[in-house]
Chains A and B, each alone.
Chain A
């Protein structure tokens, strides 16, 4: 049984007069809110892996300065590296029709696929045959040492986009 409170009782003096009950609670809630927000942020960061177990798609191909004009074939990595007046780009040697490896004919300036006859010009555009899309270009980079590095994990084949940035670097 509690007694009705008619008059305010004597309260003990506050240890810290600036810190009201409201202030303390607000501060505690703010801390909790910060904890929740921080946990969410930390969880989001947790979800982004730092190490990948994917095979490296980057490889080197000698010095950029040594690259001759025209088309250089790299059979092992399945790319053609093309050097023109503007710079260097790398084409993935895979026909966009059914995946065969076309051949380069310098006299006709054509990549010709032996499987169903698709023809690509040196930019990678389809000029004949059943291939539906232009050849893909891989990202190219030149290291400070002058090494040519090709990255097959980045690909582009849209006209306009493939002429810029890492898909057609100036050397």
Chain B
């Protein structure tokens, strides 16, 4: 007989299908139940209780009168294996981190400290932990990650479709900015070291010359607070980054701007191959920061983001004292930094920042150029700006960097001081 007949009469008879089908059904249901039952956090909890009970027993052996040890043992033995969560309704966060990180559970571990060194059992309370009790704040408002998750991978991230993976290292300081507006204050906020380093780098590099923060800053590029710090991942073009899927986070994307050449990430279309007109590559200079500097600056940028925090969580802060300047040159220097002129003209005014298809290839060296202007001429130049700048190749793309018109922004005393500063750094003609 044919194969089909053979199969139907020997193996796939009605009886076999009936019996087999029912058996497989039960087995599959059992498989589903077993799979659901086996959770990694259950093993973690069992391990924790075992260790703690062992430790407490030894402690009891060492000092048999310790009544508190008995109490602690009783407590541990009475705990079931169950999900634990910190419920912070005001912040709409429900963090299940303590399901595995039992050292931070206030009931099981009153001192919030464990003797273990391996995660997730390691728990060392810091000053910040003490001033931000877990039952009031939860975990994820600072550490981010997916609080609702109950597996390590999903909770810590990065996982697909969860845009806020856990913050580690320097960038953890960015979370402080959610409630604290005084990260600059070394005395009040001693821990935000990287943020302060990032702010210093930000000001030195003159980023505000091209970028804005909440509308204040240069018009050449994006608003870092409104567009960058909270950028959804689906809006980021990762295609030139070379990052693996796991590495594609907002944090890494921001960091790339500082360690990678922006021309490789946003190459544009300078020869107009795919467009009606040529498109220049990114106007951002290649900062090539060290890993630590990049971390610091990433922290600073991430801290510009906004989370909706209820008023009762916002921390009061003393206002930042205005710095004192001794003379017009120092004041002028402060204006130079305030408006980020250094972003294009270099922190020391010597220019040399690349500008694709610009007739002189790089931005003007102010120390050489300023001397050729009179004071009113220089003021007019700054007020008017230069836009667009001259192209090297007329058929090529318009250079990305140009001199904006500063008339509305730099006025009166600020303009005077700036001019004074600029003339102070200008090279003096020896013949004078």
Residues on A lying within 8 angstroms of B by beta carbon are 75, 98-101, 103, 105, 107-108, 112, 114-119, 127-129
- What is the CA–CA distance of A116 and B283 in the complex, to the nearest angstrom? 11
Q: Is the CB of A117 within 8 A of B279?
A: yes
Cβ–Cβ < 8 Å partners of B127 in chain A: none
Cβ–Cβ < 8 Å partners of B280 in chain A: 117
Cβ–Cβ < 8 Å partners of B278 in chain A: 128
Q: Is the CB of B220 within 8 A of A128?
A: no
Question: Is the contact region of chain B dominated by helix, strand, or loop, or is it mixed?
Answer: loop
Cβ–Cβ < 8 Å partners of A108 in chain B: 388, 398
Q: Is the CB of B275 within 8 A of A129?
A: yes
List 13 other contacts, CB 8 Å, given A127-B277, A128-B272, A128-B275. A98-B236, A98-B237, A99-B235, A100-B222, A100-B235, A105-B387, A114-B222, A117-B268, A118-B279, A119-B279, A127-B275, A128-B269, A128-B278
Q: Is the CB of B219 within 8 A of A103?
A: yes
- What is the CA–CA distance of A112 and B399 in the complex, to the nearest angstrom? 12
In this complex, what residue of A is CB-closest to B234? A98
Cβ–Cβ < 8 Å partners of A99 in chain B: 235
19 cross-chain CB contacts under 8 A: A75-B215, A98-B237, A99-B235, A101-B222, A103-B220, A105-B387, A107-B387, A108-B388, A108-B398, A114-B220, A114-B222, A116-B237, A117-B269, A119-B277, A119-B279, A127-B275, A128-B272, A128-B279, A129-B275
Cβ–Cβ < 8 Å partners of B254 in chain A: none
B173 at the interface (CB under 8 A from A): no
Cβ–Cβ < 8 Å partners of A117 in chain B: 266, 268-269, 279-281
Interface size class of B (residues with CB under 8 A): 20 to 34
* Best-surrounded residue of B237, B266, B269, B279 (most CB of chain A within 10 A): B279
B227 at the interface (CB under 8 A from A): yes
B276 at the interface (CB under 8 A from A): yes
Cβ–Cβ < 8 Å partners of A129 in chain B: 269, 275, 279
B164 at the interface (CB under 8 A from A): no
Q: Is the CB of B276 within 8 A of A128?
A: yes
Q: Is the CB of A128 within 8 A of B237?
A: no
Cβ–Cβ < 8 Å partners of B400 in chain A: 114
Residues on B lying within 8 angstroms of A by beta carbon are 215, 219-223, 227, 235-237, 266, 268-269, 272, 275-281, 283, 387-388, 398, 400
- What is the CA–CA distance of A100 and B222 in the complex, to the nearest angstrom? 8
- What is the CA–CA distance of A118 and B272 in the complex, to the nearest angstrom? 12
Q: How far is the CB of B215 from chain A (nearest CB, A)?
A: 6
Cβ–Cβ < 8 Å partners of B237 in chain A: 98, 115-116
In this complex, what residue of A is CB-closest to B400? A114
- What is the CA–CA distance of A98 and B235 in the complex, to the nearest angstrom? 5
Cβ–Cβ < 8 Å partners of A127 in chain B: 275-277
Cβ–Cβ < 8 Å partners of A107 in chain B: 387-388
- What is the CA–CA distance of A128 and B220 in the complex, to the nearest angstrom? 18
Q: Is the CB of B266 within 8 A of A116?
A: yes
Contact among B275, B277, B283, B398 with A114 in the assembled complex (CB-CB below 8 Å): B283
Cβ–Cβ < 8 Å partners of B283 in chain A: 114
- What is the CA–CA distance of A123 and B201 in the complex, to the nearest angstrom? 40
Q: How far is the CB of B70 from chain A (nearest CB, A)?
A: 57
Q: Is the CB of A101 within 8 A of B223?
A: yes
Q: Is the CB of A101 within 8 A of B277?
A: no
User: Which are the 10 A-B pairs with shortest beta-carbon distances?
Assistant: A117-B279, A128-B275, A128-B277, A114-B221, A98-B235, A117-B268, A128-B279, A99-B235, A129-B279, A127-B276
Q: How far is the CB of B46 from chain A (nearest CB, A)?
A: 47
In this complex, what residue of B is CB-closest to A103? B219
Q: Is the CB of B275 within 8 A of A100?
A: no
